[in-house]
Structure 1
Amino acid sequence: MKRPAQLVFIPAPGAGHIVSTVEIAKQLVARDDQLFITILIMKLPFDKLFINTDPSISHRISFINLPESHIDTQGLAFPSFIKTFVQGHKTHVKDAVTKLLAESAQVELAGFVIDMFCTPMINVADEFQIPSYLFFTSSAASLGFSFHLQSLHDEQGKDVAEITGWDSELVVPSFINPVPAGVWPGVTRTKEGAIASIDFAARFRQTKGILINTFRELEPHALRSLSDGKIPPVYPVGPLLNLKSDDGHVGTDQSIQKSDILEWLDDQPPSSVVFLCFGSMGSFDEAQVKEIACALEQSGQRFLWSLRQPKPKGKMGMPSDYVDVKLVLPEGFLDRTARIGKVIGWAPQVAILAHPAVGGFVSHCGWNSTLESLWCGVPIATWPMYAEQQLNAFGLVKELGLGVEIKMDYKQDSEVVVSAEDIERGIRQVMEKDSDIRARVKEISEKSKKALTDGGSSYSSLGRFLDQI
């Protein structure tokens, strides 16, 4: 009889990373009744404490909130911040796993599954003499981009200044088209960021296998490029989505907001509403908000707009809901658009995308949001903000033909204001009724669901991973 085994997952802090970690944990325990999973949660100083509120999660999945590490990260750029933050949790992880082993002596520790930003934890796994696996929460194409930069530096001897200084295009094996410098992840455009990215990718190669939140039918070219024998085995196991992720508890503010939004959508014709939402970190200053408002009004398109207030300048934190959106919108905008539009704060994104009234999504192209939109069969108008979102947008528009461009190389902290004309054009394109893009998105939606069923590509890939552990 197979002996019970324990996997320890270490997601990066942040909703997007934790959500997909919980989803892969649910799939793994559903496939192997001798498997136990413990998820170690690191809390960002400005974030809420994680509380598991999903009663459907298996009793074989447990959560441990690690003690907060009070590390001075003030003024650090993201790569240094995340590395310092994760390094500061190594002792906490070691203590938690030691305690876990003492409490469950009958269960064999089979490995760590670490998030793409948690590579310092490979050292902790080594101390316990167990393998590390990587869980990559973005696209196969962007994973290939990371490996390519690292290969240019470590194998071809390009120095970092040369890599970050490129201002034309880069031929990357995981992309069919040359990748313009404008859509490289912002972090790779600085010396510090590029060094950190190269270091992360070098550590990825030290793992025993890479689980990735994508599926073969979506990224066939990128996945083929990752099977060159130079990197660990890759297991595409997506799309990993929590389709109930934004269900507020009945009677809570979020639950009331959600039912109000869905009731409004119930009154709109099928595929008639464009939904604008820019993720948990996405927000704009007043000048850009006015351009979006102007574009929506000029388009005459029905819309649902999640509008968030930026965090205070120079401080770490998350956007919040406005107390009064009228203060940032053009005068009279809400009255003039009352019959066709609704401006909201927080958005129950999955429920909105799944609603038959929604016909297009203006999105920041975060990978979870991209997969949710494709699952629901909703074409995307790309407006990336930060991280690898510009690469995702480039992939959707130029590689896969599943999205239209509003702005592909937008950066959240730049002074650029996207014009109402550009926004309106993107909205009109994404809402086109019988476009080729809409047909392709519908086809990939069906394939995404099939990938997870018995015999599907991701189902089989997850089986191969389970056989390996």
Structure 2
Amino acid sequence: MSTTSELVLIPSPGLGHLVSMVEMAKLLVDRDHRLSVTVLIMKFPMDSEIDSRVESFTASVAARIRFVLLPQQNPSPETSPMAVLTHFMESHKADVREAVAKLSASGSPRLVGLVVDMFCTSMIDVAVEFGVPSYMFITSGVAVLGLMLYLQSLQDEKHMDLTRLKGSDDELDFPCFANPLPAAKFLPSEVFMEEDCRIFLGHARRFRETKGILVNTFAELEPLAVEALAGLGAPAVYPVGPILNIKVESKKGLQIMDWLDQQPDASVLFLCFGSYGSFDEGQVKEIACALERSGCRFLWSLRRPPAKGKLEAPCDYADPADVLPQGFLDRTAGTGRVIGWAPQVEVLAHRAIRGFVSHCGWNSTLESIWFGVPMVAWPQYAEQQFNSFELVVELGLAAEIKMDYRRDLVKGSNILVTAGEIESGIRKLMEGEEAGERRKKVKEMSEKSRKALAEGGSSYLSLGRFIDDVRSQ
């Protein structure tokens, strides 16, 4: 039977957001043969992997999913990453309008809605122009959605000046957690910059204009947060995750996977900090010192930061010995490996991995849960993670290293986390009764994540409700 309904998906630029959208597109067309999906792709100039990824997607997905690479725009220099992203989205609005117009003009299949990323709220205007509903896709958890709606209501309904909370000891009774939290602990520092505060809350305000919100989570992971949304005036919410590209491909012949094959079960600590994860030389030496003192087996994805003032992705070192303590590689040759880029999914799936030192990006968090690997939380970029690190710590799925650490994508960080702090977090994860209990909890949550996606599971049913809603247009 031919498709009769078309959805347009608009992810934010960046692989993490794109991959989540593509995986959701796969779920949609697999569940209903009457649906087809077009993914509109915006590309940052620094994202050199996007073109090859799109080629890979095109070759591997169903015929009812197609990709349109929009004309490349150069981001304007702004005062913050959030402002850069917002203006970059605005520069693509005309391209999105033109792409949607071409789809709408064909008339078959019938355009039934736009699904836009959480940072693409300006594209809601395009849906309005074409008389179709818009839906939001939150690439983080329900707690993040709740936080954004909560802060927006504090400002717009209770007239609270959020900028005054910077560095304060005020406690906010954020309903997605069991207990009140100090504002400065779980609010990203960037929110308190006046321009970023306006942008951040502007996104949340527009969430309320959509017909529904899809969230990359599952109800069993965030029951309090899901319950709290009803009191925050959210549109219909569909927890449909974990949405992940968890296809584990054979990496035989890849040196690091061969090394892992030689390690005992559940013995290796994996350190990896996301697509933009990197540290200055001083911080690298502190991490190295902590690893050496801990004595644990480790696999460390170490990447070189971009030049100061450059908004670029990190790259691999020609020789990591240049930034590591003298003799470190020789002294740890029997227990550890320092590498560049890492195939994170394949590594987390390996039987030798015992723990994961993570920047707490939501995709990394969900992958860690899926494979039953407990974490050490070391959040890096608050504008991306918001409070997901608080969630995993509160649930007993992660230990912690430095919860108030922040690293600006352009300026780096002026905070040095000491070797002692890092070693303490590592030992909490790898040793003792507490570590064993944490590992047990993660295994239990892993089973729940898989059941949620299986037929009859909470996310399976939630996705079905969303498809019914779309098809009823």
1:25 equivalent to 2:28? Answer: no
* Equivalent in the alignment of 1:415: 414
Question: 1:3-46: per-residue Cα shift (whole Å, max 9, x none)?
Answer: 71000000000011001101111000000001000000001122
Superposed, 1:336-355 pairs within 5 Å as 336-355=331-350
SS of residue paired to 1:360:
strand
Query: Offset of 1:96 from its aligned partner?
Result: 0.9
* Equivalent in the alignment of 2:181: 179
Could you tell me how far apart the structure 2 residues matched to 1:83 and 1:167 are?
30
Query: Offset of 1:83 from its aligned partner?
Result: 1.2
Residues 94 and 130 (structure 1), Cα distance of their counterparts in 2 relative to 1, 3 Å cut: same
Structure 1's consecutive aligned runs of 4 or more residues displaced over 4 angstroms after TM superposition are none
Query: Offset of 1:97 from its aligned partner?
Result: 1.3
SS of residue paired to 1:81:
helix
* Equivalent in the alignment of 2:220: 217
* Equivalent in the alignment of 1:448: 449
Query: Offset of 1:274 from its aligned partner?
Result: 0.2
Could you tell me how far apart the structure 2 residues matched to 1:430 and 1:243 are?
24
* Equivalent in the alignment of 1:61: 65
* Equivalent in the alignment of 1:90: 93
Could you tell me how far apart the structure 1 residues matched to 2:269 and 2:386 are?
21
Could you tell me how far apart the structure 2 residues matched to 1:235 and 1:432 are?
38
Query: Offset of 1:163 from its aligned partner?
Result: 4.5
Name the TM-score, length of structure 2 as normaliser. 0.93
* Equivalent in the alignment of 1:119: 121
SS of residue paired to 1:21:
helix
Residues 161 and 184 (structure 1), Cα distance of their counterparts in 2 relative to 1, 3 Å cut: closer
Question: 1:250-278: per-residue Cα shift (whole Å, max 9, x none)?
Answer: xxxxx68x721111000000000000000
Superposed, 1:139-288 pairs within 5 Å as 139-164=141-166, 166-180=168-182, 181-228=184-231, 230-244=233-247, 259-288=254-283
Q: Tell me the C-alpha RMSD between the 2 structures.
A: 1.7
* Equivalent in the alignment of 1:251: none
Contact 2:284 2:324 survives alignment (8 Å)? yes
Query: Offset of 1:421 from its aligned partner?
Result: 1.1
Could you tell me how far apart the structure 1 residues matched to 2:337 and 2:357 are?
15
Contact 1:227 1:234 survives alignment (8 Å)? no
Deviates more, 1:55-64 or 1:339-348: 55-64
Query: Offset of 1:128 from its aligned partner?
Result: 0.4
Query: Offset of 1:170 from its aligned partner?
Result: 1.7
Match of 1:138 among 130, 137, 140: 140
Could you tell me how far apart the structure 2 residues matched to 1:274 and 1:79 are?
33
Question: 1:137-163: per-residue Cα shift (whole Å, max 9, x none)?
Answer: 001111111111100000111134335
Query: Offset of 1:390 from its aligned partner?
Result: 5.3
Could you tell me how far apart the structure 1 residues matched to 2:275 and 2:207 are?
27
Contact 1:452 1:458 survives alignment (8 Å)? yes
Residues 150 and 416 (structure 1), Cα distance of their counterparts in 2 relative to 1, 3 Å cut: same
Deviates more, 1:180-189 or 1:31-40: 180-189
Could you tell me how far apart the structure 1 residues matched to 2:3 and 2:299 are?
51
Query: Offset of 1:78 from its aligned partner?
Result: 1.8
Deviates more, 1:75-84 or 1:295-304: 75-84
Query: Offset of 1:183 from its aligned partner?
Result: 2.9
Query: Offset of 1:179 from its aligned partner?
Result: 2.5
Query: Offset of 1:106 from its aligned partner?
Result: 2.0
Q: Which runs of 5+ in 1 are unaligned?
A: 249-254
Query: Offset of 1:105 from its aligned partner?
Result: 2.4
Could you tell me how far apart the structure 2 residues matched to 1:385 and 1:161 are?
21
Could you tell me how far apart the structure 2 residues matched to 1:168 and 1:359 are?
37
Q: Which runs of 5+ in 2 are unaligned?
A: none
For residue 423 of structure 2, what is the amino acid of its counterpart?
A: E
Could you tell me how far apart the structure 1 residues matched to 2:242 and 2:431 are?
26
Name the TM-score, length of structure 1 as normaliser. 0.94
Query: Offset of 1:394 from its aligned partner?
Result: 1.5
Contact 2:163 2:192 survives alignment (8 Å)? no
Question: 1:412-468: per-residue Cα shift (whole Å, max 9, x none)?
Answer: 133111111111111111113652111100100000000000000000000010010
1:39 equivalent to 2:39? Answer: yes
Q: Percent identity?
A: 54
Contact 1:184 1:388 survives alignment (8 Å)? no
